[in-house]
Amino acid sequence: MRSAEPALRMPAEWEPHERCWMAWPCRAEAWRHGLGSARMAFAAVVQAIARFEPVTVMVRVDDLDEARGLIGSAATLVQTELDDSWTRDTGPTFVLAGDGTLAGVDWGFNAWGLVYDGFARDARLARHIIDHAGAHRIVGPQILEGGSIHVDGQGTLITTEECLFDPRRNPHLSKPDIERHLRAMLGVDTVIWLKRGLTNDETRGHVDNICCFAAPGHVLLPATGDTSDPDYAILIEARAALEAAVDARGRSLIITTLPMPPRRRDQAGDVLALSYVNFYIANGGLVMPGFDEATDHDAATVLSSVFPGREIVIVPGHGIADGGGNIHCITQQQPKAVLRSPIASA
């Protein structure tokens, strides 16, 4: 690493991208309905995003032929070692330095607070992606997954206490410690804290399933009028926190609500944490999960109004939700950089 890091900024997700990074599913036990269903769902996401920007997919050597067969020419495939496919969390957080060069923050990864064993290859994935991107590598000072944060690109970050205060992630860090790290690595001044994420979210509190920025000073939040819904109180609590918040530019937040998909349960009878907030913004487009419900159209209508000029593409989301997340969780944007950085190792 360089002896002194230049000022860093994580661009908002709606800023121009160089490409999107993904990884090919390979942990069979993580997918309730098998790898075949998961891979077909991932291929659909790859093909949808590739309409708007280049996509690179990291793939185990034994899976290259199948991945090529399902993806076709829509993406570049790169052979690497993987444990699974949640690139938002296992990949780097790309940032821009003050001189316009691209860098990648390589955060620590411990499988969402030791949810499962055998994550050493995923813990190395960020470094591999940074090297392939030709970016400067910065070692993150704590365990952090990309799905646990959303930024507005103007100094404000939203996250949850449930996730970042998880004792199985960073038990030695205080709130001021965590905020200091976020400021240094991502160029934020203000951190807005929500209490918790959606019920039964396997990540235990990722913000990208409950809330995201749509523009500076503007956030999206699911809503339900069903008082028996297990997320009813959580969403009321989150709205109150957002209404009380002020961003880094001194703005109160505009809150636009998205519908909640009708509740579905997994094989154990537990409610699935389905959300339309878990989408990917591409250059000129937005790829969102659909759940074969009337609310799909309602959510797409809201997103179309919030993101004018972007084509809204609905991709079946159940095959991804089967593994515990959705489209935002399996993607990682690489922002356009003014200058290229030499590959650097730490």
Active site residues: 329
Listed in sequence order, the residues at least 6 apart from 294 whose beta carbon sits closer than 8 Å to its beta carbon are none
What the block records as the tokens of 147 is 């799905």
Hey, is 142 helix, strand or coil? Answer: strand
Answer yes or no: are the C-beta atoms of 122 and 110 closer than 8 Å. Answer: no
Task: List residues bridging with 339 in a β-sheet.
Answer: 101
Query: Pairing between strand 311-316 and 102-108?
Result: unpaired
* SS3 letters across 2-35: CCCCCCEECCCCCCCEEEEEEECCCCHHHCCCCH
What distance in Å separates the CA atoms of residue 299 and residue 312, rounded to the nearest whole number? 10
Helix (H) or strand (E) holding 69: helix 64-71
